[in-house]
Structure 1
């Protein structure tokens, strides 16, 4: 019997070793092993890590009391493991990996057969179902090693998938795969020319792989049903034989051996079926991850259009309103904004009963909600540059419900670092108009993280942006903008005006000038936001 070992991860990646009728194959970092790993790079592997033995026509894998364990398709080997064609062996989590190819599998090792066109396989020379399964398996093995960021792991997965598809699949799939390669390598985040068409091509490629894996799954289901029927038939024959005094012990043992062999076959098929189902799930998750990473900020703004609100103070007698900031929906009747936006509302309503705080929906000036309750973050301190500048606004929706924004998993927020793409969606003060509330999208990136909870970014903002959500490319809120650093007060000349707004004149007819104070940005593009997990902790205080 022959077994080929293809190194798919580690210092020897890309190499293949073939063994013909070996009594044993030993693995480890010691140079005397049949498969000797790199002593400096493959440090997860032990000196004498594992051994494959050929026993009764089967290849069995034994762990040799290694420090970090031996894994087959992600499952740890406790005593021994019968190897099947396509199995991936990992020597310590994160260590070197090899894929097994067993051209002439032993009786207890059931190899996947090609599915006929009638059973859902490709008709035009595409890869066989087992080939596709191995492609996915190898790609996932690589993706597991690159979990630094969501898009990064997906990129590894798709690149490994495509690199194998180009050499093994049909011309049509090669064309689609080439498009994906361009997509992945063209630019950061995949935002390049013809983005919509590329996403369509990606969906087509992922769907094709999904169909092929589904064919694998259906084939294994059929084989499992047949094997279970054979097992039941042999068991019935054995039960009958045990009641028949004329059946010899040798015949009984032969029937018992047949039953054991079929039960092993059934177990092997169930393993293959479960592995295929896991690969289907992983394919969906990873392709969905990549599609989300391809989302443009234009799409993010469109998806969150109804979640953004202009915060204003309104006089109920004449319905005049003064805009003061931005807020965004975080629940069916709640908004999040800055504390320094909410405090003036509290002060104004206390001084004048006819004044209320309101939230005006982005692009829909007719949708106005009255603010009924305000909660300020308990640790808010206006005098500090870095502060949890947050407030929760409860509004009267009249029985309706707001459209809350989405937040990323907590683990994703820890990946915020310099260069991470961002966008702020809110109402810059110089463009704020309560009669025409149109939010402005401003893009930029993280400059640096401050004290881990504060985001320095360079998205263009001005006063009315206070309380604006900071989005990532997945359309998730990663922070809340609250300030621009470098603001200084200066005295500048300006025309003197009378109460009606007319320019006053000097005796000689020239315009009269007065001196006024203005706040300007000394350091343009240095803005601060509080990270979303601080906001989420605050929201949990206000269920």
Structure 2
């Protein structure tokens, strides 16, 4: 880590004209930009379009929106300071990651994030180096030069310049990555996106979020591998390590049993990486002599002598008589027949015994196979359940992690709307009689068969006298679900005219003179213009009209910015408090991940949740900017939305079944709802409700001091289930 500050020495004439940033890599490679010193205060670096040095949103994705700054110390004008603004991927100076702030030298190489763009920090004209005083040497006390005798070993030590990691298995198989070797090198491994070597969260599920790290050893001569309390362990050449282990050239590292493997290499390899060839001395192990085996002489043949005159034979001993031989043959045949019968009988008995044994063993084997199969299936089910539980624990996110990851996906929505007559385009108004809102009964001929009589509708008019315009202004929350600008929110936020809450008033009738007559008082009314709209003309005859809502303003603002984007209404649910809007943003938007279909079965009372939203009672962050318009020198104040993080829990899961064709006209239906423990005020409507794995499981839509409610995310998926949105 780099710490401290450095003063820049001025040239002899005391002048430093400008600071120059020369881009070495990234989208701005081979470009240079200069900043005059008399005008320089802060140089901001990031992907935000308002940054002094703004990087490309797509090509420089290792850079955060607001990554770092370079400032000039007001107390010491010759000091320049580089500050990390809490970036995700860090700031590196000369390949070493900094902590907080550090001073910059002329010629320092700055990199924004691992693998991110690099630039050279220079001062023009460059500062003159401060020469050191010449050291005088007393020749009488000088130490004589030591002569070194070169033996068989190399005299120069080979120092590795780069560390090379070759992936053998896992999601990165057959890939290779290298890192320059520095005294402070630290290579981290894990499924965290900020790790030096980041593994796939799904395919490499044996790897922990922060699994292991490689650092220089204490003597700066080798490298050590450290296990960061990983769940599944770290293995070197097949053996699990305890805490740490020294690494050697060619070692095979594995992250968890069955996990991804890498080969550890140094370039150039150390001098002792290869073993010397073993020499064989023939004198040490003389070969065994051939054992000579004694061969017995062959048996002598009967002597025979042949001559020209005749042949002489040795006389053989006398044999048994003919009768004796015949008797012996007969006895032998009888005994052979008896033996054959006994052998056949024994074989038959043996076959019967073997067959019975095989039948018994077969039945026992079948039972054993059935038992073993059942045990294997049970073990498989238990293993899958355990693996699922382990993965859920590894993927668990705290509320602060969810806020850091998905605040930029949560948006602030502002709406101005009014109700208009589609035929004329004029705004509709609610007629007042005696300073009270007036209502009329719907004529019988206009009431659908099966509905109750006496249905009330507001008395509508275009006349601005004795009336109140129907419309309003509101603010709410929402969240991005695609990278091209689709946003989910509540129906009552994006299209508030679908159901309108009207004040308590009076019911009037028209007498024969055409004058309104008060019939009775009525309480507060809920009115759905799209279902039935009537008004009472001056003549006393009812007539049906087609009306609809219209936006005067639908603006969307992303977290921590002051720029407003115009939105448009895309679709509204007929049954649930869900709506879909769209904005056209110049860059890709980070979407919040939705819980998959079927995951609603995992939502149970007591489950922890996190809500991101913009409640009205939350403290506001304001931005004041002086206008640069020559005709308007005033100051404008804009609100910078900052989402509020609310940890909570599921208190109740309300569900119901409906028959085919059944629909509810009640927007705030208690069917299929999550009841929450959170106490949130107005303005939070439309905000995402996350589970402890960082997935959106619902949309906040209503509440009071006693309880709050959320719509399950599956109804939002139904609203989005078209190829143009999800595909």
TM-score normalised by L of structure 1: 0.37
Q: Which has the higher helix share?
A: 1
Q: Which has the higher strand share?
A: 2
Q: Which has the larger radius of gyration?
A: 2
